[in-house]
Amino acid sequence: MTKIWIDAGHGGKDSGAVGNGLVEKDWVLTVAKQIQNELMKAGFEVGMTRTNDTFYELSDRAKKANSFKADLFISIHFNAGGGKGYEDYIYTSTPAKTVEIQKIIHKNVISKITKHGMNDRGIKKANFAVLRETAMDAILLEAGFCDSTDAAILEKQSYKNDYCSGIVAGVQEIFGAMVTKYRAGKYLTSDDAISGNNIKGYLEAGTKVFVYKETDKTLNLTTKKGVPGSWVLKTEVNIGKR
Ligand SMILES: [Zn+2]
């Protein structure tokens, strides 16, 4: 099973950024738990740096994720300093795969949050301890600025929901999504999937799939990333794409 580590920043004596009534250590804990919940429902194994208001040193966060043998480390933060917008970071020197992972997470998050008025500050690199000391691909997300007009966006539950689902969709694009609904019909063409003609078999629950193509009503799902698979009706599969 693919293992994801969720690192809620700060905690305990370290509040993180504070502004407009928002406290980073509390906001990131709520969001981290929501991501944990959604990833587990999507069939991932999830490890957490903290599930309550506890302080951990940066090195201990990396050590915990390393001994869990996570496939991906996601650190959750928000920003301060008067800017506006969302940005994410990977370590200054990473394999090309990590850059690709950052692009996928970034694209999925941005596609869900710009409708709230959150700016895109782009993909960035930094020498952060949790990115440097983790043995797996690692990314740190800054959800917006608590000391700017972003605060009103960060406060909204609908923003938190879209933010979390963007992260989860990104993880699913990287590692595949687990089909959780029983027996979707598989077809050779999108039209066949819509009409129900010429069924070629069934997609069983528990199968790990990647989306190869997408139309309004159908998905081409494949078990081998980048290779065409079978067409299914969106309403018949439960992989978060409906
Ligand atoms: Zn922070």
Q: Give dist(CA 133, CA 215) in Å, integer.
A: 41
The tens digit of pLDDT for each residue in 103-114 reads 999 999 999 999
Q: For residues 46 and 95, state if they share a domain.
A: yes
Query: HEC profile for 29-82?
Result: HHHHHHHHHHHHHCCCEEEECCCCCCCCCHHHHHHHHHHHCCCEEEEEEEECCC
Catalytic, out of 38, 133, 142, 236: 142
Residue 240 pLDDT: 61
This prediction's pTM: 0.90
The tens digit of pLDDT for each residue in 140-170 reads 999 999 999 999 999 999 999 999 999 999 9
State yes or no: is 87 an active-site residue: no
Distance 104 CA to ligand 1 centre (A): 22
Residue 181 has pLDDT above 80, yes or no: no
Residue 206 pLDDT: 83
Distance 51 CA to ligand 1 centre (A): 16
Q: For residues 126 and 166, state if they share a domain.
A: yes
Residue 36 is assigned to a structural domain of this protein: yes
pLDDT band at 242 (very low <50, low <70, confident <90, very high): very low
Distance 211 CA to ligand 1 centre (A): 33
The tens digit of pLDDT for each residue in 1-34 reads 899 999 999 999 999 999 999 999 999 999 999 9
Structural domain boundaries enclosing 146? 3-175
Cβ–Cβ under 8 Å, residues 16 and 9: yes
Q: How many domains does the chain have?
A: 2
Residue 242 is assigned to a structural domain of this protein: no
C-alpha 41: how far from chain center: 13
Q: Other CB atoms closer than 10 Å to residue 138's CB: what's the count?
A: 27
20-34, 63-77, 193-207: segment of lowest average pLDDT: 193-207
Distance 84 CA to ligand 1 centre (A): 15
Distance 14 CA to ligand 1 centre (A): 9
Residue 125 is assigned to a structural domain of this protein: yes
For 123, counting Cβ atoms within 10 Å of its Cβ (0-12 exposed, 13-18 middle, 19+ buried), the class is middle
Q: For residues 8 and 124, state if they share a domain.
A: yes
Q: Read off φ and ψ for residue 135, nearest 5 degrees.
A: -85, -15
Residue 232 is assigned to a structural domain of this protein: yes
Distance 168 CA to ligand 1 centre (A): 20
